[in-house]
Amino acid sequence: MRWHLLDALTEVVPGQHARGRARTAFPDELFADHFPSFPIVPGVLVIEAGAHLGGFLVMASVHAALGHMVFPVLSIIREAKLRRFVPPGTPLLLEATLDTLRPESALCHITASGLDGHRHATMQLIFAFEPGGGVPGGDRDRLRRFVDAELERLQSPWRPAATAAGD
C-alpha cells in the first residue's frame, strides 16, 4: 500500500489510535467537473485518505501484538458520512481508532477534520489481511522495503522492528 494521500503520520499508538495529515492539493483537472465554479474534493478521496491511516494503524497494531507484518486491504466501508465540503488544498487532520482486531480483519473508526476543528467526514472501515502476514503472489521482502520507505517519507514516529523471520 502506498499512502499517497497522507502527508505525515504524527502519532501512532498500536492497538489504540493513529493520527496524521492528509493532503487535498490535486491537479486542477480533477476539479474541472467536480464541480464547475464550486470545486470540492471527491468524497471517495477523503474516504481513501482515511483508509490509508486506518490500514497503517492495523499494520502497526498486528505487528505490536504478534510480532509480524500484515498488509491490510480495505474490504468494507461499513459507514461513511461526508459532513462538510472539502475545498481543494484544505489540510485534513485524520484520526483512526482501532475498534476491533481479529486474526484476519480489523474495524477502525476514522475522523477527518479541518484545522478549524470542524469534522468533514467520519467512517467505519473494515480491513482484511492474511493472518500470518503472507502476500499471496507477491514478494514479501520487496513489499517490506516499500513500506519502510513510505514510513520514512511520512516521518512516522513508529517503525516496525525487524524480526528473526525477516519482518
Catalytic residues: 34
| Under 8 Å between Cβ of 11 and 157 | yes
Q: Alpha-carbon distance 34 to 30, whole Å? A: 7
The cell numbers describing 19, all together, are 493520527
Nearest to 149 by CA among 140, 159, 139: 159
